[in-house]
Amino acid sequence: MRSIFFLFVLMPVIEMFLLIKVGGVIGVWYTIGLVLFTAVIGVTLLKKQGLRTLFNAQTKAAQGEMPLVEIAEGFMLAIAGALLLTPGFVTDTIGFLLLTPGVRKVIARRLGAQLIRPVNMGGQGGFYSSSMRRPNEERSGETVIDGEFEEVSSKTRDTDKRLP
Q: Is 147's pLDDT higher than 50? A: yes
How far, in Å, CA of 67 to CA of 56, rounded? 8
Q: Is 119's pLDDT higher than 70? A: no
How much is the pLDDT for 129? 40
| Residue 108: partners with Cβ closer than 8 Å, 6 or more residues away | 69, 70, 72, 73, 76
The more confidently predicted of residues 29 and 70 is 29
Q: Where are the domains of the chain?
A: 35-115
pLDDT per position as a tens digit, 33-78: 999 999 899 889 889 988 898 898 899 989 988 888 888 888 889 9
pLDDT per position as a tens digit, 71-117: 888 888 999 988 988 889 999 999 999 988 888 888 877 776 666 65
